[in-house]
């Protein structure tokens, strides 16, 4: 029987992981909800931003905050570039063609990163303390990214609900034809959405470089889980993705301690499969 | 009836062509030998040691070619394949090399997850496979392979040796009865990690040692904090870890942050043997006292303990590695994977191939297999110290080198020292973990 204190620590681990997963999932889900195209290469954009922070901070000695801001700017620029160069020309194509195009981008980015920076794993180390709260360890290197993730998600929520552009984005995601008929330009909204989604990727990159080593195939580590969370939460459903992030991370963490690390992922995937059958539209989708 | 002709005739013609195509014979002047060199150049295994293995193999081939080739006249044509750190890609690459590139020999293979399925497939095609790196004993165990050979030690040998090492030094260095030690085993859940962990478990049972946790994890797991929490709940003294990279970097970071405390930390090759990557991910002071197991990096061996001429080969390998790949690296920091690629390719090119050609009439798979079975290199006869003699057909591990052995290395004052077995040790073990290590028991 495991000591309850370790079970509590597992729950805390789940919360910290959930915050980071939510940041990834919401950026991806925002783009899907508005533009109706899944960016398979989303986590690979995060990878590029991680490389930028690595080089700026580790090689050129920039302060961490400046490296992070640069990554956010790069993410937004990448979001715009991907939309203009790849997504925009195929907006009217069959979904399979859209999927193949973003899949092609994924392979391009991985190969390009390998060509430029080799397959070496690169890390930025931050020496921050961990706090022992009655046997539960709270490492600042994970608490800070979690806190920034939550702040970013709140900012995204306020942007979508309290600004004119955010309202337009939500309107397009609900009915793009109607928005067009009302005189709005959905293409401009798509561009803004891609920039915001890319900005979220940049922020994720700026935070994840302090938790993970970056390498050209980093997308394979977090990409599949991010997509599962988006599907579980409901593609395009922001609140659903947020809730799904924490459901998945808590299952992985608590089942990992109760049974085994592998079993944690097995149970998370079983829950995912069952939920797809029970609620194919996502956990928060209305029945009927 | 007419429609049946083509399906009936085609296989007959194919069989006739196959039956009448002679295996490569060594009678033509200026003939070349095509070797498919299959490693992972991309994906997570590349930086985990695979690329260094390829570098070693390439340098060995270049050196032989500069001397005129095998027996001074058969140039080696190196055809590279990239397994991309994925088993299915490695299998497809092997098919391409064997059946499209028509290589005479397939060599290399870094990952056991690739080697286990590949060995059986290649052997069934009666093609010659020379494994330089992958260590899982499952590659050979009970399969009676006829055309697959491996000079490298096995994973269960790695696992057994780390337990024997702890058993040997527990009383003297850790001031504990070995049977009172709490030992935890964690491993990536592929063929490599599982084999090593099983080797440790069997040896621990044999010695009566106490395993408090044995658990696998996926190398792609995005979070290992629950594993760290579980380890803390078991309060291990010694942690034996088998992993690649970046999974070990992720684990070590999370272990440090979550307050895992140990008396000894022992890795088993792959990512644990890439000292520069460990330093970058975890810090130079922080990795002091970390162990790894691997076949011995040639440059760490005293050349006087080896057969004449072997030490010169090591010096040549080190010189070439610095000139071609990393001019700033210190000799001792060159990863053992470079030696694995170089030394094991060197054995193929300078022992097996010459005998196949001169004694068995060529370099077809049968001639190569006969020549390999006659290999008899005594201990001290290769750059990594071990001898080479392959278990014969019918043996449980037919094709595996029965004279191979790994060794225990430890990072002492920022560089690898050999600490076990005592016969090859260059330093006394640094146990328990020094206070500079964030994992050290306080």
Q: According to the model, what pLDDT value does residue B369 have?
A: 98
> From the CA of B345, how many Å to the nearest CA of chain A?
23
CA–CA separation, A263 vs A10, rounded Å? 14
CA–CA separation, B230 vs B218, rounded Å? 16
- Assess whether B414 and B288 both reside in one domain: yes
How many residue contacts between A and B have a Cβ separation below 8 Å? 120
- Cβ–Cβ under 8 Å, residues B114 and B39: no
CA angle (A255, A217, A208) in 5-degree steps: 60
- Assess whether B245 and B376 both reside in one domain: no
In CATH, what number is assigned to the domain containing residue B117? 3.40.50.2300
Q: Is it the case that residue A205 has pLDDT exceeding 90? A: yes
Q: According to the model, what pLDDT value does residue B24 have?
A: 57
How confident is the model over A91-111, as pLDDT tens digits?
Answer: 888 888 888 999 999 999 999
Sign of CA dihedral A149, A155, A160, A164: negative
Q: Most B CBs within 10 Å: which of A9, A55, A132, as the mutation test of the B interface?
A: A9
Verify whether the Cβ–Cβ distance A119 to B280 is below 8 Å.
Answer: no
- Assess whether B321 and B286 both reside in one domain: no
CA–CA separation, A206 vs A45, rounded Å? 12
How confident is the model over B221-245, as pLDDT tens digits?
Answer: 999 999 999 999 999 999 999 998 8
Q: Is residue B336 part of a domain?
A: yes
Q: Is it the case that residue A59 has pLDDT exceeding 90? A: yes
- Assess whether B326 and B418 both reside in one domain: no
Q: Is residue B334 part of a domain?
A: yes
Comparing CB atoms, the residue among A132, A217, A262 nearest residue B216 is: A262
- Assess whether B269 and B372 both reside in one domain: no
- Assess whether B221 and B96 both reside in one domain: no
Q: Is residue B221 part of a domain?
A: yes
B227 in contact with chain A, both atoms CB, cutoff 8 A: yes
Verify whether the Cβ–Cβ distance B41 to A119 is below 8 Å.
Answer: yes
Q: Which residues of B are less than 8 Å from A266 in CB distance?
A: none
Strand partners, A137: A132
How confident is the model over B171-214, as pLDDT tens digits?
Answer: 999 999 999 999 999 999 999 999 999 999 999 999 999 999 99
Q: Is residue B51 part of a domain?
A: yes
Q: Is residue B14 part of a domain?
A: no
- Cβ–Cβ under 8 Å, residues A52 and A210: no
- Assess whether B238 and B106 both reside in one domain: no
DSSP element (H, E) containing A145? helix A140-162
Verify whether the Cβ–Cβ distance B222 to A225 is below 8 Å.
Answer: yes
- Assess whether B289 and B320 both reside in one domain: no
The tokens 């037919």 sit on which residue? B398
ipTM: 0.91
Q: Work out how many domains chain B is built from and give that number.
A: 2
Comparing CB atoms, the residue among B258, B277, B283 nearest residue A130 is: B258
- Assess whether B41 and B145 both reside in one domain: yes
- Assess whether B114 and B162 both reside in one domain: no
Q: Is it the case that residue B395 has pLDDT exceeding 50? A: yes
Q: Domain segments of chain A: what residues?
A: 22-218
Q: Most A CBs within 10 Å: which of B220, B226, B230, B243, as the mutation test of the A interface?
A: B226
The parent domain of residue B238 ranges over 156-294+406-424
Sign of CA dihedral A163, A164, A165, A171: positive
Q: According to the model, what pLDDT value does residue B25 have?
A: 53
Q: What is the DSSP string of B158-203?
A: HHHHHHHHHHHHIIIII-S-GGG-EEEEEEESSHHHHHHHHHHHHH
Neighbours of B201 (CB within 10 A): 20
Mean pLDDT across the stretch B6-32? Answer: 52
Q: Is residue B317 part of a domain?
A: yes
Q: What's A214's DSSP letter?
A: B
Q: CA nearest A12: which of A216, A220, A250, A218? A: A250
Q: For A10, which residue in chain B has the nearest alpha carbon?
A: B226
Q: Is residue B132 part of a domain?
A: yes
Q: For B232, which residue in chain A has the nearest alpha carbon?
A: A6
- Assess whether B306 and B401 both reside in one domain: yes
Verify whether the Cβ–Cβ distance A121 to B277 is below 8 Å.
Answer: yes
Q: According to the model, what pLDDT value does residue A173 have?
A: 79
- Assess whether B33 and B137 both reside in one domain: yes
Verify whether the Cβ–Cβ distance B217 to A262 is below 8 Å.
Answer: yes
């Amino acid at each position: 029987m495991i000591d309850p204190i370790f079970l509590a620590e597992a729950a805390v681990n789940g919360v910290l992981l959930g915050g980071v997963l939510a940041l990834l999932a919401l950026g991806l889900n925002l783009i899907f909800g508005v533009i109706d195209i899944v960016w398979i290469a989303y986590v690979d954009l995060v990878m590029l931003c991680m490389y930028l922070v690595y080089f700026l901070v580790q090689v050129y000695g920039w302060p961490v905050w400046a490296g992070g801001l640069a990554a956010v700017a790069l993410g937004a620029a990448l979001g715009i570039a991907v939309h203009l160069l790849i997504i925009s020309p195929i907006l009217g194509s069959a979904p399979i063609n859209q999927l193949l195009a973003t899949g092609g981008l994924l392979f391009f980015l991985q190969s390009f990163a390998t060509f430029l920076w080799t397959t070496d794993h690169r890390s930025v180390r931050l020496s921050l303390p961990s706090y022992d709260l009655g046997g539960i360890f709270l490492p600042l290197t994970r608490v800070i990214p979690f806190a920034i993730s939550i702040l970013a998600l709140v900012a995204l929520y306020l942007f979508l609900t309290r600004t004119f552009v955010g309202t337009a984005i939500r309107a397009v995601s609900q009915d793009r034809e109607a928005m067009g008929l009302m005189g709005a330009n959905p293409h401009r909204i798509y561009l803004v959405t891609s920039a915001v989604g890319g900005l979220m990727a940049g922020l994720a990159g700026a935070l994840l470089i302090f938790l993970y080593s970056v390498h050209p195939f980093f997308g394979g580590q977090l990409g599949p889980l991010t997509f599962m969370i988006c599907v579980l939460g409901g593609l395009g459903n922001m609140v659903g993705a947020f809730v799904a992030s924490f459901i998945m991370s808590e299952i992985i963490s608590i089942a990992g301690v109760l049974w085994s690390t592998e079993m944690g992922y097995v149970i998370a995937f079983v829950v995912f499969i069952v939920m797809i059958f029970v609620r194919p539209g996502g956990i928060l989708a209305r029945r009927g | 009836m007419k429609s049946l002709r083509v399906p009936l005739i085609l296989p007959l013609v194919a069989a006739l062509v196959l039956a009448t195509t002679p295996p490569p014979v060594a009678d033509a002047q200026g003939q070349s030998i095509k070797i498919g060199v299959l490693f992972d150049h991309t994906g997570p295994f590349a930086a985990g040691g695979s690329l260094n293995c390829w570098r070693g193999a390439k340098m060995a081939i270049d050196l032989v070619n500069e001397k005129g080739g095998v027996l001074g006249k058969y140039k080696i044509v190196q055809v590279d394949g990239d397994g991309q750190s994925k088993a299915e890609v490695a299998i497809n690459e092997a098919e391409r090399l064997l059946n499209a590139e028509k290589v005479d020999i397939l060599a290399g293979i870094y990952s056991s997850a690739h080697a286990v399925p590949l060995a059986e497939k290649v052997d069934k095609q009666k093609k010659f496979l020379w494994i330089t790196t992958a260590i899982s004993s499952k590659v050979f165990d009970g399969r009676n392979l006829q055309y697959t050979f491996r000079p490298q030690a096995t994973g269960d040998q790695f696992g057994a040796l780390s337990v024997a090492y702890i058993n040997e030094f527990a009383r003297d260095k850790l001031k504990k009865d070995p049977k009172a030690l709490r030992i935890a085993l964690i491993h990536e859940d592929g063929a490599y990690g599982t084999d090593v962990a099983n080797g440790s478990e069997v040896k621990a049972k044999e010695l009566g040692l106490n395993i408090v946790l044995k658990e696998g994890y996926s190398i792609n797991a995005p979070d290992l904090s629950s594993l760290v929490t579980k380890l803390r709940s078991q309060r291990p003294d010694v942690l034996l870890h088998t992993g690649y990279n970046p999974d070990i970097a992720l684990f070590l970071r999370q272990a440090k942050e979550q307050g895992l405390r140990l008396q000894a930390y022992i890795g088993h090759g792959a990512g644990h043997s890439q000292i520069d990557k460990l330093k970058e991910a975890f810090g130079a002071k922080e990795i002091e006292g970390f162990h790894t197991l691997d076949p011995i990096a040639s440059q760490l061996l005293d050349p006087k303990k080896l057969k004449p001429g072997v030490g010169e080969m090591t010096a040549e390998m080190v010189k070439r590695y610095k000139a071609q790949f990393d001019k700033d690296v210190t000799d001792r920091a060159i990863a053992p994977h470079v030696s694995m690629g170089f030394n094991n390719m060197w054995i193929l090119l300078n022992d097996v191939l010459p005998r196949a050609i001169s004694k068995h009439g060529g370099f077809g798979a049968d001639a190569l297999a006969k020549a390999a079975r006659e290999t008899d290199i005594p201990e001290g006869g290769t750059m990594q110290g071990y001898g080479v003699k392959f278990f014969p057909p019918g043996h449980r591990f037919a094709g595996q080198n029965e004279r191979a052995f790994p060794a225990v290395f430890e990072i002492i004052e920022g560089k690898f020292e050999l600490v076990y077995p005592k016969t090859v040790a260059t330093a006394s073990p640094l146990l328990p973990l020094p206070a500079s290590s964030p994992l050290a028991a306080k």
